[in-house]
Amino acid sequence: MIAKTCTPDSGTKVFVIMQTGERARGALYGLAIGDALGMPTQMLSRRQITERWGAQLHGFEPAPPGHPIAAGMPAGSVTDDTEQAVLLGRLLVAGHGAVDHQELATALVDWERDMAARGSRDLLGPSTKRAVAAVLAGTAAEDAGASGDTNGAAMRIAPVGIVAGLPDPPDLADLRALVDRVVAASFVTHNTGLALAGAAAVAAAVSAGISGASTTEATTIAAAAARLAADRGHWVAGADVAARIQWAAGLVAGRNRVEAAELIYTLVGTSLATQESVPTAFAVLAAVPDDPWQACLLAASLGGDTDTIAAMVGAVAGACAGVTAFPAEAIAVIDAQGLGLAMLADDLCSLRSLGTSSITGRGVRSNTARQPR
């Protein structure tokens, strides 16, 4: 069932409307499914995971006793990745596609307070926490996220990929317009070229997938967007995200899943560093290009920041394949948490625009391609 409001250009056939809406839902459900699969394995080593669950998880698992972050969380529970993506998505809907940086900062603070009140230890990441505190203390928004280089922007950016449509194929102006949207939704917490490159890669891949790209095609577009975004925001030291996406995808293409997992964990890296976790997500998609559920299971089995990596994998894979590519039982587990993902995806899809019509806002130009800085 696809949102009636997800309307394409005049003359586009009805089945394209249905496919676009199904893919938008796939992005959000995929993000949540990947996040929930990675919940019990987050911050564990690859060895700890294989000793407990084998080479790859087979489904949702509860957090093991004594887990440093997720202890006591039942199987299928989502974490901050999904909750912050939903938060951003709702702000986009309320703002008709735009995000006010002050509202985002305030919403993140309110979210963390609510999580703490519920007894959760899965709170704001280091970059977001530091930047939000700075904004609330009066620091200029452009400077608050000046050192934010971790993967918090990339983990929650999928709703921007739904709203910011890319035509098939996108040109340079289209990609720049998408990067503008990513920057507008991210700079208050992650205003570094490194973090923005990672977020742009995920958003571009989601957008391309909704437009009909395969995971391989979406990965190519992701690297192009990351290359543009790397010149935005403040400079911080770190490996080139676009180059590492291409290298990581090539490293594991055609290998079996066990071999791919070991290569990714050992060489690409699974920490919360953007230049590790984002390329790792695209490496998983290269290893498992045609099965979103299995791709999420592999991502959740790697070790390290598995909930975020699997969330990014699920968002891109779901956008490329659609929500029906996931088991109905997995969808039901997510729906039972009352997140309203189907309605949110439909609302975001109704705002989707193609081409170079970009939002207006701080640091973003309307209907023009912004030059990298």
**Residue 370 belongs to some domain of the structure:** no
Question: Residue 189 sits in which domain range?
Answer: 14-58+75-352
Give the containing element (helix H, strand E) for 30. helix 14-38
**Residue 360 belongs to some domain of the structure:** no
Task: Give the span between the Cα atoms of 102 and 104, in whole angstroms.
Answer: 5
For tokens 């208050």, the residue is 188
pLDDT band at 6 (very low <50, low <70, confident <90, very high): low
Q: How many domains does the chain have?
A: 1
Please, what is the average pLDDT of the chain? 88
**Residue 187 belongs to some domain of the structure:** yes
Q: What are the tens digits of pLDDT across the range 132-179? A: 778 778 888 778 888 889 999 999 999 999 999 999 889 999 999 999
pLDDT band at 182 (very low <50, low <70, confident <90, very high): very high
Task: Give the span between the Cα atoms of 80 and 152, in whole angstroms.
Answer: 9
For tokens 């205003």, the residue is 191
Task: Give the span between the Cα atoms of 34 and 346, in whole angstroms.
Answer: 20
Task: Give the span between the Cα atoms of 145 and 274, in whole angstroms.
Answer: 14
**What is the domain-level CATH number for residue 256?**
1.10.4080.10
Contact in structure between 298 and 260 (CB atoms under 8 Å): yes
**Residue 222 belongs to some domain of the structure:** yes
Report pTM.
0.90
Which residues are 192's β-sheet partners? Answer: 234
Determine the 3-state secondary structure of 15 from DSSP: helix
Residue type, 117: A
**Residue 369 belongs to some domain of the structure:** no
Task: Give the span between the Cα atoms of 308 and 296, in whole angstroms.
Answer: 11
Residues 6+ apart with CB under 8 A from 66: none
Instruction: Write the DSSP string, 108-148.
Output: HHHHHHHHHHTT------HHHHHHHHHHHTT--HHHHTTT-
Q: Give buried/exposed letters for 326-337 (b at 16+ CB in 10 A, else e).
A: beeebbebbeee
Task: Give the span between the Cα atoms of 128 and 110, in whole angstroms.
Answer: 13
pLDDT band at 106 (very low <50, low <70, confident <90, very high): confident
**Residue 68 belongs to some domain of the structure:** no
**Residue 8 belongs to some domain of the structure:** no
**Residue 318 belongs to some domain of the structure:** yes
Task: Give the span between the Cα atoms of 138 and 22, in whole angstroms.
Answer: 42
Task: Give the span between the Cα atoms of 119 and 96, in whole angstroms.
Answer: 33
pLDDT band at 16 (very low <50, low <70, confident <90, very high): low
